[in-house]
Structure formats: structure tokens, C-alpha cells
Structure 1
Amino acid sequence: MAKVSAEQLGSEPIGQLLVKQAVPASIGILVMSLNVLVDSIFVGNWIGAIAIAAINVVLPVSFFIGALGMAIGIGGSSIISRALGSNNYQKATLVFGNQITLTLFITVSMALLGLYYVDVLIPAFGGKGGIFEPAKAYYIIVLYGIPFLAFSMMGNTVIRAEGKPKFAMVAMIIPSIANLVLDYVFIYWFDWGMKGAAWATTGGYIFCFLYISYFFASGHSELKLSWKSLALQIPIVREIGSLGVVTLARQATTSVVYLIMNNILFGLGGESLVAVYGIIGRMQMFALFPVFGVTQGFLPIAGFNYGAKKYQRVRESINTAIRYASLLAALVFIGLMVFPQEIASLFLSDSADQYAENLAVNAYVLDHIPLAMRLVFGATPIIALQLIGAAYFQAIGKAVPAFLLTLTRQGFFFIPLILTLPFFLDELGVWLSFFAADVLATIVTGLYLRKEIKNTLQLPQSS
């Protein structure tokens, strides 16, 4: 049965297959996004808006280390999808074993370095003034759980590459539910403040790690590990790295963006403006979950069929994924444009027992959020083309264009814009940079993808 599940990627109708792959992925991402959203709501209401700013400072460091696992996972899973498409199960298993060894070694080492340089990294990422102490308390505890997160992110991509999206969905739901329950216990009942929020997050990572370990150990997976497969092989590591660097570059660039943004915003409006970006960041994770779900569902379909040389199905998967994701993105766009202030108010407490300082921060956030949210999400209806286009090249193993297109939005356009526009337009320049970068990156990706389809995917389909 497991083998048939993988082979269905090359035989079922694309529209039906994409729904089967994307819906569980979307649900999983939705639950994870809701976890981040509700977690921020709990923190904002029970601790304060400054706590949201503190978490926003920690995220780029912790997510970068966790993203090492995702980079290894997606890089290896692209190879696994194509290996399964060509019935090379031996290579698929060897790649998975190398993924495990790489993930454990690299992320544990990085977490230890992150803990050693804690007092340097937090201020560098904008954790200054009243943000520093809560950010440090949160950061130290969360880094304990980062290796568990990294393994979970790696394992989840492999599960999806095997054509088992429901298991991948459950793996994403478990830590989210665990985190929310632990949030209530540690923050509300035990009154642990930022430490409670951090332990809840770390606990969620550990629960996810346990479930994914169960999946691979209990016979649900097609990949049967041996001690030999865990031994690193240079050609395999090089291939994983060449594709995984795309994901790593994306997250590294995101971390640099957080560093720049937090420092620029702190200079323009102090802790309060950093809190505005904290809410915007949470909404970026949550609002686009259906688009990310379609993208995740698209990856194994494109990779498998490309490996099987079924180019007509690859073309169809690209077109279908863009259509589905664009429709969902347009619906998200309407909600964000109409209700920005109402959305922001969910993160803030108006209780009379709040300190005057917290109430002042809340008022500032509500005043500044509408313009920020409308500009940041202004290009949402067209963003699907950008995401699907970059994902396609990663799925088929073309590392260089995947790498360049991944860097296009944040590296080539956003960072130069954010370093320039605020000098002329102040806060408006910050938010306008998001919109301009999305539009420019989508144009470039669309042109490159069109050229690729014309030159490569018009080849005769093999029998």
C-alpha cells in the first residue's frame, strides 16, 4: 500500500491529486499558523504587547537554526521524490539516512553556539531597551527545543515526499495543539510569563519530534533505515546541500530582514513600532497558509512526475497550482484590506488592570496597523506565481535558478528597498518596501518560469 501511495503521484488526475496533497498541507499549516497567532494573542493579552515584540526579536535566530532542518529536509526530499519516481528506493533510503545525520549534527552545534552568544545576538536583532530581558528569557528556553524542531521539519518534508500528506498534516497539528494547551497552563495558571510561553513552544517541538520518530519507526514509511544509510556520503551530502541551500538562503535572508526591520523600526518608533511589525509578522505566517499549502502539495507532484519524465503532467501541475493558490490568495487579500484594525485588536488587551505603558503601546499599535497591513499585503493576489515558480525549480532539482528566484524578493529587492526608502519616507517607506518587492519579484519569477516551460517542458513525453 505504501508503494502505491507514492506511485499515485504519477497517475491520478492533477487537480484531484493537488487537492489531496494541498488540503492536508494547508490544514497542517493552518493549525501551525493558528498556533502562532493564538500564541501571540495569549502573550499579548496575558503578558503585554512588548512581549510580542520580544518574541519577534527571537524568531529570526531560532527559526534560522530550525530552518537548517527544513533545508536538509526539502533538499533531500526533492531527491527522494525523483528517486521514487524512477523506482530507486535504495537511493531514497540512503538520502534519508544522510538527512538524519546532517540534521542532528548541524542543529545541535548551532543551538550551542546560539546559547553561547545570547547577549550579542539579541541586541543585534533589535532586542534593545525594554525588549531585552523578556527576549532573553524566551530565547534561552526555546533554543533547547530547536534540534527537536529541526528534526521535525526535516522529517515532515520526507513524509510528504513519500505521498503521505495526512501523516504530515498530523505532524504539524500535534505541536500546535500541545503549544496552545501548554500556553494556558504555563502562562495563565502558573503565571510563568515569558518563560511559560517559551516552555510551551519547546514542549510543542518535542511532541512533534516524538510523533515523527514514531512514523518512521513503526513501519508506515517506505524508507527502511540501516546503520549504513546513516553514514555520510559526500555525493549525497553535496546533492542535498545544493538543493537545501535554497531553503536555507530563504530563511537566512528572512533572518537578516528581521534584523534590519527590528532595528529600523526601533529607531523610528521604539518598542511600539516593533510591536506593530510583530503583529504583521504573525499575520504573514497565518494569512497565506492556503497558498503555502498549495505550494507544499505541489512540490512532490512536480518532483515525481519530472523524475518520471511526464512533462505534460508537470506543466499541468504548475498551471493548476497557480490557479488554485491565486484564488485563495485573493480571498485572503479581501479580508486583510477590510479588517486590519479589527485583526490587530485581537492581539491586544484593553483590560483596565493593564499598566498605563501597555495601554499606550496598544493605542499606538492600533493607530499604525491599518496602513502597514494594507501595504505589506497589497500584492497578495499575485504572490502565488512567485511562490510556485520558485518551488518548481527546487522540486525538479535545478538548484541555481531555485536559489536565485528564492532570493529575488527579499535579497535582491526588499533589502535594498528597506535600506533606502525609510530615509526618504520614514515609516511609510518601510511598509511600501514590502509591496514593491512582491510586485518586482513576481514579474521576474513569471518571466523566468515562462522561459523554462517553453524550453524544457515542451519536450516529447516519454512513454
Structure 2
Amino acid sequence: MKQQSNSDRLGTEPIPKLLRSLSIPAMIGMFVMAFYNVVDTIFISYGVGIDAVAGVTLAFPIMMIMMAVSAALGIGGASVISRRLGERKEEDADRVFGTILAVTGIISIIGMVAAFTILEPVLRLFGATPTILEHAIDYTFPMMLGIFFFTFTFATNSIIRSEGNAKFAMMTMIIPSVLNIILDPIFIFGLDMGVKGAAIATVLSQASVSIVILYYFLSGKSSLNLFKHHIKIDLPILKEVIAVGLPAFAQQAAGSLMMIAINSMLITFGNDFHVGVFGIIQRIIMFTLMPMMGVMQGMQPIVGYNFGAKNMTRLRDTVAIGLKVTIAMTVIVFLLIMAVPHWFMMIFSSDQVVINEGSTFLRIMFSAVFLIGVQVVSGGLYQALGKPKQALILSLSRQLLFLIPLVLILPHYFGVYGVWMAFPIADFLSFLLAVTLLYRDREIFFHKKNGNHHNDDNEESFVAI
């Protein structure tokens, strides 16, 4: 097997060192990816205006559906592949990879056809007003034409991490982010293409890194083999990938529904201005919480491999460390947002109304952010273990079960402020659900297998977290 050490070290290297080596590259990659989204919004805000930001925000649910498909294929495939590698079933892992590539091609064709047929009606359905509809179309159309590059790069990023090659996975996020930052001002300002220029810059960036990723798999640097006869849909494999990836898809799809609900209520109880401000706050959320997602992504291949190898002690230690790190991160974010929210808003706009209003909304939305770490780690844990039921419940809970109903109900009593108030309430309810599931399933993590014993102190510490 090529690059055997990449996957072998998931079962042998000390957990703190291993988690750092896998999480830090993922964190850096996620941070840079979030940074280019921030830069995108800054250029659009200063170059076109708050209405353009509102247009992009309104179109974002479509982007989230694209990411949902990629997440389902990537995270589901990564979980299956990491467990196959842990079980020493390399040929099966290659077949999983081939199935994912075949599905990626089919999904891309469907997306491109949709760009020419149903894009404008869908945007109108999402609540696009005449003021922002043109901006939304200008941004979304080029993105849908390049859907293959997005789906391919996002899905393979998770797969690359599943074989333990976190550094290259990080590069696949950094390369398009840096290219996008370089190309944005050229297309938006230099060629005077506005929002459409931002979208084209993003597509070209993703296309460039797709070539790099393809070379990685074809050059023999991966633990996986990319053979032509593997690129076909294997239904039993696809069923397993979908079962594990469904929570990730559901989470992103629920996020898309959440965005539609939020935009609709902001327009109903506010106006286009509030949609634009929310678009800025969305970028701040991504930027501040992406590092936590990096920790979860670094944790998953370790959990999946050791679960496949039945090494429960290493699995338990990985989860405990992941929880502590993510909780610490969210506490820091909470303190910063509460203390200096205007600093974050000033990055995106010099309009004092945007800064003042946005600072108030930002404080409300982040008032329970310190609870999110437990949700993220527990959801990632169940995905890596191949426990789709629990993962699906956790993936849907915050957005679909709690946030969307709150967003639709609270504005009727609190006006536009009800939209922002829905976020901390949903965070609290989702935290309670995650803790309940972890406690209920604690025997999974503390069951003695293959002589991997645990001590009572470790168990008490984990349950306390």
C-alpha cells in the first residue's frame, strides 16, 4: 500500500501530537477559506454596495445546497474510507473513491442544467426583490456552471484527510483561497464586472486546485489508487456513503432552509438593508468558527481509524481533547464579540449605520456561542463512527428543529430583533441535546475491547465535559 505511514500513524502516534498534526493544517485551511469569503464580501461591499451583499446573501442557499452535496460525498466517503483503511481493506477503499467521483460527475451535470432553466424562478421564490435579484443572478450563474470544481475539491478534501494527509488537504483549501483573493480585485474593479467578477474569480480558483488534486491522486502520492474501472457507481458502497454522509447533507441543506427563512423574515419585518447586514454577520460567523471545524475534521480520521481497529482508548482520548480545545475556542470568540463587536463590522463597511446596527445584532447572535463546541464535536464523532442516526439528529437539531421554527415565530413578537434572538436560544437547546446523546451513548466510548482499559478518572472527566 502506498504511503502506508499516513494511515498507520492514526493508530500509533500519541493522540495530542497526532490531533495537532491533523487539526492545525485543517484549521489553517478552513481559516484561509473563511478569509477569502470575508475578502469577497469586503470587495463586494466597498466595490458595489450593501445591496450587492444582500444579493449574494439571498443566493447563498443555492451555494449551500452545492456544499451539502459535497459534504455528503466527502464526509460520508471519508468515514467509510478511513474505516476500510483501518481494517486493511485497501481495494475496498479504492472502490469507495471511484463511486464518489462518478456521483460527482452526475451531480455536476444536473447543476449546470439547472443554471439555464430554473435559476431565476428559484431566486424569486427565495424572496429576491427587484433591487437585489440582478446581483443574485450575476453571482449564482457562473458558480453553477463551475459546480463540478466545487463538488470535486470539497469532497476530495475530506477524503485526503481520511488517509491522514492533513497537510495536502490544507493546501487544497489555501491554494484556491489565495488565488481568489488575488483575482477578486482584478475582476471586480479592474474589469468592472462587479458581483459577477467575484463569482468568476471563485470558479477559476476552484478549477485551478482541481488540477492539483487530480495530479495528487494520479501521481501515486495518495494511499488510494485512482483507476478508470473504479469510476462507476457501486450501489452498496453508495448506500453506505449516503447513510454516513446524510447528516452532513442534512446539516447543509437545513442551513440552506435556514438562510431562506432568515432572509424572508428579514425582508418581511425589516428590509434589504437587514439582509445585507446579515450577509456580513454570516462571514464573521464563518471566520470565527472555522478553526473549531478544523479541530473536528482533524479528529474524525483518528476516530474512524481507531474505531475500525477497535482501539477504544485512543478513540476516547481523541474525543476528550477535541472537546476541550473547541470549548476553549468558542469561549475566546464569545469574549471578543461581546467586548468589541464594532471592530468586526468596521472590516466590512465604513457606513456608521451598518456598523452600529450590525454590532447590536452580532452581540445578540453570539451570546451563547460558547456552547457550540460540544455540538460540533459530537456531530463529527458520530459521523466518524458511522452512526448515521445520532449524527443526523445532531446535524438537524440546531438549524431545522430549533432555529428555523424560532426564526419564523419570534419576529411576530419582537420584530426584526426576533431573528437575531433565535440564534442563542437554538444554540442552548442544541447543546442540551448533544450532551444528552453523549451521556446516553457513553458505553460506546468506555467499553473495554482488546485489552484497552480505561480508568475511572478519565471517564469522570469526559462525562463532566
Q: TM-score, normalised by structure 1?
A: 0.95
Q: How big is the shift at 1:21?
A: 0.6
User: What residue in structure 1 maps to residue 397 of structure 2?
Assistant: 408
Where does the alignment leave 5 or more consecutive residues of structure 2 unmatched? 452-465
Q: Deviations over 1:289-320 (max 9, x none)?
A: 22111011111111111111011111111110
Asked whether the 8 Å contact 2:111–2:147 carries over to 1, the reply is: no
Query: Partners of 1:15 and 1:84 in 2: how far apart?
Result: 21
Q: How big is the shift at 1:231?
A: 2.2
The one-letter amino acid paired with 1:175 is P
1:221 aligns with 2:210: no
Q: How big is the shift at 1:49?
A: 1.3
1:175 aligns with 2:205: no
Query: Partners of 1:325 and 1:43 in 2: how far apart?
Result: 31
Q: How big is the shift at 1:363?
A: 4.1
Asked whether the 8 Å contact 1:14–1:317 carries over to 2, the reply is: yes
1:394 aligns with 2:395: no
1:286 aligns with 2:274: no
User: What residue in structure 2 maps to residue 358 of structure 1?
Assistant: none
Asked whether the 8 Å contact 1:272–1:364 carries over to 2, the reply is: no
Q: How big is the shift at 1:429?
A: 1.1
Which structure 2 residues correspond to residues 105-184 of structure 1 after superposition, within 5 A? 105-184=106-185
Q: How big is the shift at 1:108?
A: 2.2
Q: How big is the shift at 1:125?
A: 2.1
Q: How big is the shift at 1:42?
A: 1.1
User: What residue in structure 1 maps to residue 437 of structure 2?
Assistant: 448
Q: Secondary structure at the match of 2:271?
A: helix
Q: Deviations over 1:1-34 (max 9, x none)?
A: 7111111111111111111111000000000000
Where does the alignment leave 5 or more consecutive residues of structure 1 unmatched? 351-361
User: What residue in structure 2 maps to residue 433 of structure 1?
Assistant: 422
User: What residue in structure 2 maps to residue 459 of structure 1?
Assistant: 447
Q: How big is the shift at 1:342?
A: 2.2
Q: How big is the shift at 1:64?
A: 0.8
The one-letter amino acid paired with 2:417 is L
1:376 aligns with 2:365: yes
Asked whether the 8 Å contact 2:300–2:381 carries over to 1, the reply is: yes
1:264 aligns with 2:252: no
Query: Partners of 1:205 and 1:173 in 2: how far apart?
Result: 11
Which structure 2 residues correspond to residues 194-273 of structure 1 after superposition, within 5 A? 194-273=195-274
Q: How big is the shift at 1:280?
A: 1.0
The one-letter amino acid paired with 1:423 is H
Query: Partners of 1:207 and 1:125 in 2: how far apart?
Result: 31
Asked whether the 8 Å contact 2:47–2:188 carries over to 1, the reply is: yes
Q: How big is the shift at 1:457?
A: 2.2
User: What residue in structure 2 maps to residue 303 of structure 1?
Assistant: 304
Query: Partners of 1:73 and 1:290 in 2: how far apart?
Result: 19
The one-letter amino acid paired with 2:245 is G
What CA RMSD, in Å, does the superposition of the two structures yield over aligned residues? 1.3
Q: Deviations over 1:342-377 (max 9, x none)?
A: 2112212x4xxxxxxxxxxx4432232122111211
The one-letter amino acid paired with 2:278 is Y
Asked whether the 8 Å contact 1:66–1:107 carries over to 2, the reply is: no
Asked whether the 8 Å contact 1:152–1:205 carries over to 2, the reply is: yes
The one-letter amino acid paired with 1:145 is G
CA, structure 1 residues 114+249, in 2 after alignment: closer, same or farther (shift >3 Å)? farther
Query: Partners of 1:458 and 1:323 in 2: how far apart?
Result: 18
Query: Partners of 1:391 and 1:111 in 2: how far apart?
Result: 31
The one-letter amino acid paired with 1:216 is F
Query: Partners of 1:126 and 1:197 in 2: how far apart?
Result: 22
Query: Partners of 1:215 and 1:338 in 2: how far apart?
Result: 44
Query: Partners of 2:40 and 2:333 in 1: how far apart?
Result: 21
Q: Secondary structure at the match of 1:232?
A: coil
Percent identity, aligned pairs only, is 34
Q: Secondary structure at the match of 2:13?
A: coil
The one-letter amino acid paired with 1:263 is S
User: What residue in structure 1 maps to residue 455 of structure 2?
Assistant: none
The one-letter amino acid paired with 2:449 is Q
Query: Partners of 1:227 and 1:211 in 2: how far apart?
Result: 18
Q: Deviations over 1:370-403 (max 9, x none)?
A: 2211121112212110000011111010111111
User: What residue in structure 2 maps to residue 192 of structure 1?
Assistant: 193
Query: Partners of 1:123 and 1:336 in 2: how far apart?
Result: 34
Q: Deviations over 1:264-295 (max 9, x none)?
A: 10112211000111011111111102211101
Q: How big is the shift at 1:201?
A: 1.3
Q: How big is the shift at 1:111?
A: 3.4
Q: How big is the shift at 1:70?
A: 2.1
Query: Partners of 1:393 and 1:364 in 2: how far apart?
Result: 43
Q: TM-score, normalised by structure 2?
A: 0.94
The one-letter amino acid paired with 2:252 is Q
Asked whether the 8 Å contact 1:390–1:406 carries over to 2, the reply is: yes
Query: Partners of 1:36 and 1:83 in 2: how far apart?
Result: 35
Q: How big is the shift at 1:183?
A: 0.5
Query: Partners of 2:313 and 2:102 in 1: how far apart?
Result: 37
Asked whether the 8 Å contact 1:69–1:107 carries over to 2, the reply is: no
1:29 aligns with 2:18: no
Q: How big is the shift at 1:438?
A: 0.5
Which structure 2 residues correspond to residues 84-95 of structure 1 after superposition, within 5 A? 84-95=85-96
Give the number of aligned pairs.
450
User: What residue in structure 2 maps to residue 353 of structure 1?
Assistant: none
Query: Partners of 2:199 and 2:69 in 1: how far apart?
Result: 20
Asked whether the 8 Å contact 1:273–1:365 carries over to 2, the reply is: no
Q: Secondary structure at the match of 2:270?
A: helix
The one-letter amino acid paired with 1:336 is I
Asked whether the 8 Å contact 2:51–2:272 carries over to 1, the reply is: yes
User: What residue in structure 1 maps to residue 461 of structure 2?
Assistant: none
Query: Partners of 1:342 and 1:111 in 2: how far apart?
Result: 39
4+ aligned runs moved over 6 Å, structure 1: none
Asked whether the 8 Å contact 2:111–2:145 carries over to 1, the reply is: no
The one-letter amino acid paired with 2:415 is D
